[in-house]
């Protein structure tokens, strides 16, 4: 029952997280489009009122007239709309989901036993949890300090963009050495997502509140609040596409099990930012095909980097000693389903069964069942890939051996 309730909570939190993220990202993209698509007001009275730009739009059978003021309007309504709860809900639900899945089972999901950093590979569960939380916190602190020190008055945003890009490469590199592959991708995305939410909480909304307070008091708002809010909002829009990709990456083990997974991650981060830049400029009426072309080029480079250099059979067999009956069978390629199913029974069906015996699962993860020869044969190519790459079993919790991995890699399943 406990595993079932945890799984149900996981589902509800994920649902909430996705809904909040869609709402926040959608609203953010809309306002970036609106801000960049404004035209000078046509009516003289609008110009006299201080209207900076306007946009006419039609949607859902209705017509809309949006206006932006360059300075304080003569009067602010009492029901002024604020945009922040979507951002806060997205982060809070995301962190709760991370705690429920990753922090609750760090030995399975967080610790990277094959890390080249020996101390990281030997972390205990609580140490991995502390490292993950500090990773998020330090990511925000360093990003925020870069913004404050490099471009405090928004006069060096170009240099700041380069610094943040370098920071994300470093974050990508450190994450894959500190944590298991899936967690590394998720935490790198969470560093950006934390910066996005913190930008709203610490800078954008407080600045807007100060501006509104000054306007209601008949004072002139400090222009630095508007400039800083715009700076952080721009950063958020460039983080958006990479964050979405990294949050989805846990479904694609070829990305985070590769030896150069941090390079793949960085390429996708830059690709997402370049593609987003195209749409930002497009809303200004400035079509620059070079940006999406460069983004696609980086994705193609990622495809090339992620591609296996040799078949799983060869790569797995090359990493073990060729002694023992299992290793000899692997070398000869003479492996039958009975041998493979024996390994599945010993190492995999604790989780991947119709009724898992592992306390953390109420149902087979991803619906993958390996408790019979037929089920294992149906999932053959996936099994070979994730076992040969070292991704499964998670954290090698069932202590699968190199010889057993080679046996699975050498298996050539018969068609059903």
In tens, the pLDDT along 248-301 reads 998 887 888 888 999 999 999 999 999 999 999 998 889 999 999 999 999 999
Rounded Cα–Cα distance for residues 5 and 100 (Å): 11
Residue with more model confidence, 147 or 314 = 147
Which of 105-109, 285-289, 317-321 is the most confident on average? 285-289
325 in any annotated domain: yes
57 in any annotated domain: no
Same domain, 84 and 22: yes
Sorted by sequence, the CB contacts under 8 Å of residue 308 that are 6+ apart come out as 315
Check whether 1 has a pLDDT greater than 70: no
Residue 175: per-residue pLDDT: 97
Same domain, 356 and 295: no
66 in any annotated domain: no
Pick the range with the lowest mean pLDDT from 7-11, 36-40, 49-53, 292-296: 7-11
Number of Cβ within 10 Å of residue 366's Cβ equals 10
Residue 317: per-residue pLDDT: 43
54 in any annotated domain: no
Same domain, 385 and 251: no
In tens, the pLDDT along 334-363 reads 888 899 899 988 889 888 888 888 766 767
Same domain, 287 and 328: no
141 in any annotated domain: yes
pLDDT band at 328 (very low <50, low <70, confident <90, very high): very low
Helix (H) or strand (E) holding 202: none
Same domain, 135 and 176: yes
Rounded Cα–Cα distance for residues 333 and 345 (Å): 21
Same domain, 301 and 357: no
Residue 323: per-residue pLDDT: 39
Task: Report CA-CA distances (Å) from 262 to 174, 188, 213.
Answer: 8, 10, 45
Q: Mean pLDDT score of the chain, rounded to an integer? A: 87
Residue with more model confidence, 67 or 78 = 67
Residue 139: per-residue pLDDT: 97
Residue 158: per-residue pLDDT: 94
For the entire predicted model, the pTM comes to 0.81
Residue 218: per-residue pLDDT: 82
Q: 307-321 as b/e, with b when 16 or more CB fall inside 10 Å?
A: eeeeebbeebbeebe
In tens, the pLDDT along 149-189 reads 999 999 999 999 999 999 999 999 999 999 998 899 999 99
* Structural domain ending residue among the three candidates 253, 287, 306: 306
Same domain, 198 and 323: no
Same domain, 295 and 321: no
Pick the range with the lowest mean pLDDT from 20-34, 152-166, 212-226: 212-226
Number of domains in the chain: 2
Residue with more model confidence, 305 or 326 = 305
112 in any annotated domain: yes
Residue 167, judged by CB atoms within 10 A of its CB (0-12, 13-18, 19+), counts as middle
47 in any annotated domain: no
In tens, the pLDDT along 367-397 reads 788 888 888 888 888 888 888 777 788 767 7
Same domain, 273 and 372: no
Pick the range with the lowest mean pLDDT from 2-6, 118-122, 271-275: 2-6
Same domain, 293 and 384: no
Instruction: With beta carbons less than 8 A apart as the criterion, state whether 328 and 322 touch.
Output: yes
Q: Mean pLDDT, to the nearest integer, of 223-251?
A: 93
Task: Report CA-CA distances (Å) from 83 to 14, 24, 26, 57, 200.
Answer: 22, 8, 12, 21, 9
Domain containing residue 98: 2-37+72-306
Check whether 327 has a pLDDT greater than 60: no
Percent of the chain exceeding pLDDT 90 equals 53
Same domain, 301 and 154: yes
44 in any annotated domain: no
* Structural domain ending residue among the three candidates 283, 306, 329: 306
* Structural domain ending residue among the three candidates 306, 328, 349: 306
Instruction: With beta carbons less than 8 A apart as the criterion, state whether 246 and 266 touch.
Output: no
Check whether 17 has a pLDDT greater than 50: yes
Residue 416: per-residue pLDDT: 67
Percent of the chain exceeding pLDDT 70 equals 92
Same domain, 298 and 388: no
Which of 112-121, 142-151, 399-408 is the most confident on average? 142-151
Residue 316: per-residue pLDDT: 45
């Amino acid at each position: 029952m406990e595993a079932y309730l945890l799984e149900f909570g996981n589902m509800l939190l994920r649902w909430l997280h996705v809904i909040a993220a869609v709402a926040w990202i959608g609203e953010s993209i809309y306002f970036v489009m609106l801000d960049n698509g404004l035209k000078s007001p046509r009516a003289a009275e609008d110009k006299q009122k201080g209207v900076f730009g306007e946009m006419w739009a039609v949607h859902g059978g209705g017509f809309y007239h949006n206006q932006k003021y360059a300075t304080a309007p003569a009067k602010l309504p009492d029901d002024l709309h604020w945009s922040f709860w979507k951002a806060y809900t997205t982060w809070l639900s995301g962190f709760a989901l991370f705690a429920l899945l990753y922090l609750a089972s760090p030995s399975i999901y967080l610790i990277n036993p094959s890390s080249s950093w020996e101390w990281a590979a030997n972390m205990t569960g609580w140490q991995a949890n502390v490292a993950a939380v500090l990773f998020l916190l330090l990511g925000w602190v360093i990003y925020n300090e870069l913004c404050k020190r490099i471009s405090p008055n928004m006069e060096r945003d170009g240099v700041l963009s380069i610094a943040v890009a370098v920071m994300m490469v470093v974050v990508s590199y450190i994450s894959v050495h500190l944590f298991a592959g899936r967690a590394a991708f998720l935490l790198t995305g969470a560093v950006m997502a934390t910066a996005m939410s913190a930008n709203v909480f610490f800078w954008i909304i407080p600045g807007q509140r100060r501006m509104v307070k000054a306007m209601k008091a008949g004072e002139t708002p400090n222009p630095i609040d508007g400039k800083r809010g715009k700076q952080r909002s721009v950063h958020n829009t460039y983080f958006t596409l990479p964050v979405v990709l990294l949050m989805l990456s846990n479904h694609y083990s070829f990305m985070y099990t590769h030896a150069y997974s941090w390079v793949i991650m960085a390429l996708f981060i830059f690709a997402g930012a370049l593609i987003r830049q195209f749409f930002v400029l497009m809303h200004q009426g400035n079509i620059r095909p070079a940006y999406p072309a460069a983004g696609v080029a980086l994705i193609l480079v990622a495809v090339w980097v992620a591609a296996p250099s040799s078949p799983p059979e060869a790569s797995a067999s090359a990493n073990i000693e060729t002694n023992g009956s299992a290793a000899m069978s692997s070398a000869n390629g003479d492996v039958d389903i009975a041998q493979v199913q024996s390994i599945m029974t010993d190492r995999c069906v604790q989780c991947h069964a119709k009724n898992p015996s592992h306390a953390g699962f109420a149902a087979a993860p991803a619906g993958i069942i390996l408790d019979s020869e037929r089920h294992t044969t149906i999932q053959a190519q996936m099994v070979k890939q994730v076992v040969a790459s070292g991704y499964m079993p998670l954290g090698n919790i069932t202590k699968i051996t190199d010889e057993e991995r080679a046996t699975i890699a050498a298996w050539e399943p018969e068609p059903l």
